[in-house]
Amino acid sequence: MTETQRIPTGDHIVQELPWRWRVQGKIFIIGGLGFMFDAWDVTLNGVLIPLLSDHWSLEPSQAAWIGTANLIGMAVGAFVWGTIADLIGRKKAFTATLLVFSIFTVFGAFAPDIVWFCIFRFVAGFGLGGCVPVDYALVGEFTPRRQRGRVLTAMDGWWPVGAALCGFVSAGIMATFADWRYTMLIMVLPALLVFWIRRSVPESPLFLISKGRGEEAAHVINDLVRRTGGTPTEWRLPEPEAIPKLTVGNIFEQFPAIWKHNWKITTAAWALFFSILLVYYLALTWMPRILIESGFAEVRAFITTAGMAGVGLLGVIVAAYFVEKTGRKWILAVTGPLSALILVIVSLVIDVPAAVITWLLIYGFVVQIAIPVLYAYVSELYPTELRGSGFGWASTFSRIGAGFGPLIFVSIMWPYLGLAWSFAIAGGLVLIAVLWMARFSPETKGAELH
């Protein structure tokens, strides 16, 4: 090793800086607010299904497209925006996602029929689908290595906040105005505000370094050292790399790249994302309808679902505490299958309101231990040049499952197999995924990002 090679690189410096709320914490909050709108919008599908079923006299199989169109849009957005972020930068992608979401959410609120509504929800989902992979890539690359697991896990704390806000706000709107359009429009103004605030976030130095933009990276890194009070130290930039042009071909080049990187790890990432989030979205999308059919009033069903989501904040806190103690894999292996088992129990006591509410609160707690750890884990499995697209493609696969899964659930599984067996089958998929992870995927606790 030469003397120059002994000098730490800029990406290493960023990962060893002290944590400061006014620096990395600001980026965590701004990124988290976008994640909050993702949660709000996905939860809104469960609210809109019973409301629009009455408004447009929809059959269950037609109403299922309300959630499917939105989630498939998010699936497309997840890989497109995640890959774009790896090519043009986190900041530009980070800023644009909420603008697309806001514009087409307004269009959806004034849709004349279910077909146009689903089209607008697809495009709004496409915009919002970029928030999760882009936000996690950006926040993760600014966060010091020692705190990265807790910070990325805590990012998911924004999800139960957004999901609970959706349920409580929607219940309040329907109790006051009884108009489903307001449940959509209420999101737009704060989303536009967050879009404007995002413009102040600097570009990821890890991204700049990976693209050979040394002067810009040096400015960002030196500013981070100064603002965090880190110890000024000599550092060097890695050898510059060619900057790829943004083309459709480049977007799809990332797909074989993540499989070539390590097919066993990518299989684990996709299987975990697909199965755990399928279990979550089945509950989030159809629980209001399930509760209403079991005898709950609309407003009570929305509030119960909001409580299920809101208690998840406690799960995120537990996950953030244990993720650096026990590691990622053990938490996922326990909480993933357990969350599906709890939904089976919910389906068996569906005629007992007090029991249903109790078990749904337990479910909301357990599943929100699993999901933030899942996001943190998968975001750490790939190197810098593949992190956004690796996470994005896994998220895409999960959104496809989450989009078509509820459609199959309401059209085939629920009517013919019943709720308990339907949730049990989803739980079986989770079990297969965690067994594969245990055998073929590494633990990332304390690992340094490259």
pLDDT band of residue 412 (cuts 50, 70, 90) is confident
pLDDT at 145: 80
pLDDT band of residue 239 (cuts 50, 70, 90) is low
What whole-number distance in Å separates Cα of residue 284 and Cα of residue 399?
A: 13
pLDDT at 302: 94
More confident residue, 84 or 111: 111
pLDDT in tens, 172-227: 999 998 899 999 999 887 788 777 777 777 877 767 777 777 788 888 888 888 88
Asked whether the predicted pLDDT for residue 14 surpasses 60, the reply is: yes
pLDDT in tens, 40-80: 988 999 999 999 999 999 988 889 899 899 988 887 887 67
pLDDT at 243: 39
45 touches 70 (CB < 8 A): yes
Asked whether the predicted pLDDT for residue 249 surpasses 60, the reply is: no
What whole-number distance in Å separates Cα of residue 232 and Cα of residue 230?
A: 6
Residue 9 has φ and ψ, to the nearest 5°, of -85, 165
What whole-number distance in Å separates Cα of residue 133 and Cα of residue 35?
A: 10
More confident residue, 387 or 162: 162
Task: Provide mean pLDDT across the span 25-53.
Answer: 88
Packing angle, helices 353-379 and 312-326, rounded to 10: 40
For the chain, domains (ranges, CATH) are 3-440 (1.20.1250.20)
Paired tokens of 277: 């989030």
Which of 121-125, 166-170, 268-272, 371-375 has the least mean pLDDT?
371-375
Task: Provide mean pLDDT across the span 130-145.
Answer: 77
pLDDT band of residue 245 (cuts 50, 70, 90) is very low
Per DSSP, the three-state class of 9 is strand
Give the global pTM: 0.79
pLDDT at 69: 92
pLDDT band of residue 306 (cuts 50, 70, 90) is very high
Amino acid at 251: I
